[in-house]
């Protein structure tokens, strides 16, 4: 957050307040939402991502820990990445909290 604040030529406290107010979530939750949104878009739009290991997907969207990625993904979508991918591969319905709703929340 320090780097971001310096790029915007402001202080961390002010930037934090702006993010909290405009996104209705703190900086860390906002970044996690963006990361999960990024990988969700990859899974929807690039079928090769559905074949990758969960550990690769975690790393691809900026998580150092697969376990933390799985928890964040489940918090965002209500299902694990494995379940999500399995249903994408089978063209089954995915639970509601996906797609454009996630995009609207993350941006």
Q: Express each pLDDT in 52-106 by its tens digit.
A: 999 999 999 999 999 999 999 999 999 999 999 999 988 766 655 544 454 444 4
Please give the biggest Cα pair distance in the chain.
48
Is 11 part of any domain?
Answer: no
From 71, 95, 85, 83, select the one nearest 40 (Cα to Cα): 85
- Could you tell me if 27 and 1 are in contact, meaning their C-beta atoms sit under 8 angstroms apart? yes
The residue count of the chain comes to 107
Q: Which two tokens stand for residue 66?
A: 């697969």
Is 100 part of any domain?
Answer: yes
Please state, in angstroms and rounded to a whole number, the distance separating the CA atoms of residues 3 and 100.
Answer: 29
Is 77 part of any domain?
Answer: yes
Is 34 part of any domain?
Answer: yes
Show the domain range for 100: 26-106
Domain count, the chain: 1
94 three-class SS: coil
Q: What is the pTM of this model?
A: 0.77
Is 91 part of any domain?
Answer: yes
CATH at residue 85: 1.10.10.60
């Amino acid at each position: 957050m320090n780097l971001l604040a310096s790029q915007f030529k402001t202080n961390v406290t002010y930037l934090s307040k702006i993010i909290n107010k405009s996104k209705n979530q703190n900086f860390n939750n906002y970044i996690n939402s963006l990361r999960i949104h990024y990988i969700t878009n990859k899974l929807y739009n690039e079928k090769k991502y559905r074949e990758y290991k969960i550990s690769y997907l975690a790393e691809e969207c900026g998580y150092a820990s697969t376990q933390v990625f799985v928890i964040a993904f489940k918090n965002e979508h209500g299902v694990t990445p494995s379940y999500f991918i399995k249903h994408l591969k089978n063209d089954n319905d995915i639970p509601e909290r996906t797609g454009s709703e996630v995009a609207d929340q993350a941006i």
